[in-house]
Chains A and B, each alone.
Chain A
Amino acid sequence: MKKVATFSTIFSTIWIVSILFVLSESFSRFFVKASDTWQHVVSVTLPNITSSTLILVIGTMLLTGVLGVLSAYFVVTFEFKFRRWIRFLLYFPLAIPPYIFAYVLTHFLGYTGFLQTTLRSLGLFKPEWFEWNAMVLGMIVFSMTLYPYVYISTKSFLERFMGNYVETARTLGSRSTGIFFKIALPLAMNAFIGGMVLVALEVLGDYGTVVYLNIPTFSIAIFRSWFALRDFDSALRLAGFLLIIVFIILIIEHILRKNTKQVMPANVRPLKRKQLKGIKHVALVSYFILILFFALGLPLLHLIGWAFITFNRIYWNDFGSQLFNTMFLGLVVTSAIVMIGFVIGNYTRLKHTPWSVVVSKITLLGYSIPGSVMAILVLFAFITLSQQFNLLLTTGLGMLMYGLIIRYLGLGYQNIEWGFKKIGLKNNEISQTLGKTYLQGLFQIEVPLLKSSLLAAFALVFIDVIKELPLTLNLRPFNYHTLATQVYRYAGDERLFEAAIPSLAIIFISMVFLYPVIASVNKED
């Protein structure tokens, strides 16, 4: 037990120090004299981006929160037509990269899109109808692609723990709304907050979507300062600001979660779902069909259509190696993240020191930094190391893998941490009283219990890694192409149709990897 704790402490500390080393360049700028353009950034840019970033993040959180929790609650407590399919399909929008969803949505609403061409042919048309506010579009794009984070986390909590309370509440005559607000919401609060934080971090770290829709967020400001103002210092200062905001969010999360004491019932009683009838039944099924149509049907139908018309127009030569590189990179990086996340997760549950809290929060930091900033920070760190030790570290795959690991470790860790929270320390303590060592308890008893969390971590990270762009783009070795870089080659050049086939390949692989998670979760159901 002691050995394990020491090992975990040392390992986690080494890991955190390496992350801090990479991020240090962005903090270091606070201690040098500000450049002249920084004055411009502070007076003009900062107020603007702070407010619009906050609006985007809060609006997206509200929408994803409502969509995710309601969907989870309905699926868990009610019996309705197509339920088996719907609870399954609700996960899949996660496979759709937000920037691709943004292309599809703006095309769908645009002049050459399906909606307007149809309306024009019917003689009904006002182009102004389709001039939607960029902020609204952004919130729609992010909530449609990110709500599964909230859905997944709350659903598994509700399934596990609601049965015990709902039966009692129903016999005491509580109505569904009462059950939702008084039982479901408080019960799932912990998981809900966790899911929401992931959503917030994902939005803060996004660049592709916001630049396409022209929503001035931190990541846009960082790029404007950097590349147009050619003021690297200001860009890194802004990145430092962003990190501070993220750190504040994480501390708030920590406090909120501490205050929502999780009551773990000893025996888990399965919930008997209530059969819905009549108009309520129709309304609920329509609600789900509507969500699935927009989040899944719309992008897939568009991409499949585009794939058909561009089949003979795209460069197929490297497709096989792109496919292989995507899978290989995804598997190696994801396996490493799950292992590191497991060790750190084990450490932060054993140790309740201030340092362990810092460790757990820093692990999450990387997830919120715009990928391109992370790419440059990693690159600089590796170049510095190369020069220090006279090694060539910047031309191998290792740099890219390391960058991806620190970028997505937070996502994997978050899921593993939930898993550890769900099972508590009891099982291990019992096994130790029965004469097993801590490690035997961990691997023989707890790991099987953690299976669904580990699987979820694996699938979520894998999906993010294979669709990731800026790090892969900037840190890859010569002649290294993945499906995501192929999407970029076309989409970056405004050839959205030509980007459809690699996009579909990414989505398809993601769905294949989501499947075991869904299957394992549904088995518990």
Chain B
Amino acid sequence: MKKIILVLFTFVLFLAGCAPTTPTDPNEESKVLNVYSARHYDLDKTMIASFEAETGIKVNVIEGSGNELLERMIRESSNPQADLFLTVGAETLYTALNEDLFAPVNVSSIQDVLNDQFYGENWVAYTKRARVIVYNKEKYPEGLDIDSYYDLVDEQYANQILVRSSTNSYNIALLASFILNDGSQKAREWAQGVANNFARRPTGNDRAQAAAVVAGLGDLGIMNTYYLGLMINSADQAEREVASKIGVILPENTHLNISYAAILKNATNAANAQKLIDYFLTAENQALFMNGNGEFPVRSDIALNDQIQSWGSFTPAPIDYEKLGREYAAALMMFDAVKWE
């Protein structure tokens, strides 16, 4: 019997672990910031650490996937646990705005160096990445005659296109942006045409597409510049070699994925959240995102580094990021319909 009591006692102790934690006192001047982040990069950690050192604000972070954190914020909206939401990809924005989760964010100090596509009343992008077309420079030293994503459906590229699965959010975002800007008809033709030209069933991650291009499985790959940057700086010699052979095509209306920040409505430490946003948007840190994490700065007054410049100049696609998420379901069903697995 003694042991049973012991067992029960332990169990009760365990349950006590679920007891309420004391909420922060709102009257006290807040030196805390609670963040839900879908960006889990070493650079973000280092940057947040230096923010803490400079401001004396303690930043608490829960990292997770953007969509799961979004569900959590919706459920917690009457009593938000986070002050600031940081994420990669704009797909969550549409739902979050619809659910009225965010409070206004202030970008007035840098408004003139921020393209108005990259912020809204309640959110601001702070880095971006391009989804581009890649080829083997050794095989095509002169480059290829491709100006647009829509050129990929040309019959001459039959059995040549390498891309990852349609479960991946970058692909869904790309097709959703076509639906949004060019209409369902044209978007569907694009998805169907690309699927017709597949070199193989979609598999692997973005890096795997670059490797497959160099391996000669197909001539054209679709991938993010971000991962190419990681490959160029890879710890692995073989991967660096692959990256050195990759040529980049920045199509007209280049598709950009944004990372954005938003302050939660009724956040306890909203002022601190705004401070961290401002910190991310300083010229110095914008350059750090570019040089340390291979992303494009969102500010237009930052000189691009040699690597990005070597890929050529580009014009971003005019995407309304607040509406992009609306087309996600349509994009996914379209992928299913054209059998882009």
A residues contacting B by CB (< 8 A) are 7, 37, 40, 44-45, 106, 110-113, 116-117, 127-128, 131, 134, 211-214, 216, 220, 223-224, 226-232, 306, 309-310, 313-315, 317, 332, 335-336, 339-340, 343, 372, 375-376, 379-380, 383, 386-387, 391-399, 401-402, 439, 443, 473-474, 476-480, 485, 488-489, 492-495, 497-498
Contact = CB atoms under 8 A, between A and B. Distances in A.
B139 interface: no
Nearest to A492: B40
Interface string B72-88: 10011011010000000
Given A110-B204, A474-B72, 12 more contacts: A111-B238, A214-B203, A220-B167, A228-B329, A229-B329, A315-B42, A336-B11, A393-B20, A395-B21, A439-B4, A474-B65, A478-B62
A227 B70 CA distance: 10
B30 to A, nearest CB: 15
A127 B40 contact: no
B203 A134 contact: yes
Contacts of B7: 339, 343
Given A228-B328, A401-B14, A489-B63, A111 B75 contact: no
Contacts of A332: 14
Interface stretch (B111-119, B145-153, B182-190, B206-214): B206-214
Interface stretch (B227-235, B259-267, B302-310): B227-235
B318 interface: no
A502 B278 CA distance: 33
A212 B18 contact: no
A176 B129 CA distance: 63
B235 to A, nearest CB: 4
Nearest to B58: A479
B207 A494 contact: yes
B235 A127 contact: no
B202 A214 contact: yes
B242 to A, nearest CB: 6
Nearest to A375: B68
Given A229-B329, A230-B329, A216 B341 contact: yes
Contact of B167 (A110, A134, A223): A223
B65 A473 contact: yes
Interface string B148-176: 00000000000000001101010010000
A493 B71 CA distance: 22
Interface stretch (B246-254, B269-277, B284-292, B330-338): B330-338
B119 to A, nearest CB: 23
Contacts of B212: 111, 127
B23 interface: yes
Contact of A479 (B19, B60, B64, B234): B60
Nearest to A379: B72
A422 to B, nearest CB: 21
Contacts of A392: 20-21, 23, 79
A495 B230 contact: yes
A303 B23 CA distance: 43
Nearest to B203: A214
Contacts of B242: 111-112
B68 A376 contact: yes
Contacts of B67: 226-227
B42 A228 contact: no
A398 B34 contact: no
B313 interface: no
Ranked 7 nearest A-B pairs via Cβ: A398-B18, A478-B60, A112-B238, A398-B17, A127-B215, A111-B211, A228-B332
Given A111-B214, A306-B235, A474-B68, A494 B227 contact: yes
A442 to B, nearest CB: 9
Contacts of A372: 68
Given A224-B167, A231-B329, A443 B78 contact: no
Nearest to B199: A131
Contacts of A230: 95, 325, 328-329
A131 B341 contact: no
Interface of B: 1, 3-4, 7, 10-11, 14-21, 23, 34, 40-42, 45-46, 60-65, 67-69, 71-72, 75-76, 78-79, 81, 91, 95, 164-165, 167, 169, 172, 200-208, 211-212, 214-217, 227, 230, 234-236, 238-239, 241-242, 325, 328-329, 331-333, 336-337, 341
B236 A112 contact: yes
A7 B4 contact: yes
Most buried by B among A111, A315, A398: A111
A488 B63 CA distance: 10
B63 A485 contact: yes
B212 to A, nearest CB: 7
Contacts of B62: 476-480
Contacts of B202: 214
A339 B20 contact: no
Contacts of A231: 329
25 contacts: A37-B333, A44-B337, A45-B336, A112-B211, A112-B236, A112-B241, A214-B202, A223-B167, A228-B172, A229-B328, A232-B71, A315-B42, A376-B68, A376-B71, A392-B20, A395-B81, A401-B14, A474-B64, A476-B62, A477-B62, A478-B61, A479-B60, A480-B62, A494-B205, A495-B230
Contacts of A116: 215
Contacts of B15: 398
Contacts of B329: 37, 228-231
Nearest to A333: B14
Contacts of A228: 167, 169, 172, 328-329, 331-332
Contact of A383 (B34, B76, B169): B76
Contact of B205 (A111, A212, A402): A212
Nearest to A391: B20
A339 B10 contact: yes
A393 B18 contact: yes
Nearest to B200: A131
Contacts of A310: 235
A494 B206 contact: yes
B224 to A, nearest CB: 10
B236 A396 contact: no
B18 A106 contact: no
A521 to B, nearest CB: 25
A398 B16 CA distance: 8
Nearest to A110: B211
B261 to A, nearest CB: 17
A343 B341 CA distance: 46
B10 A335 contact: yes
A309 B237 CA distance: 10
Nearest to B46: A315
A522 B34 CA distance: 50
A402 B215 contact: no
Contacts of A317: 45
B10 A396 contact: no
Given A7-B4, A214-B165, A372-B68, A112 B239 contact: yes
B34 A478 contact: yes
B244 to A, nearest CB: 12
B24 to A, nearest CB: 11
B333 A40 contact: yes
Contacts of A383: 75-76
Most buried by B among A44, A106, A478: A478
Contacts of A313: 235
B76 to A, nearest CB: 6
Contacts of A474: 64-65, 68-69, 72
Contacts of B68: 372, 375-376, 473-474
Contacts of B10: 335-336, 339
A339 B223 CA distance: 49
Nearest to B207: A494
Contacts of A473: 63-65, 68
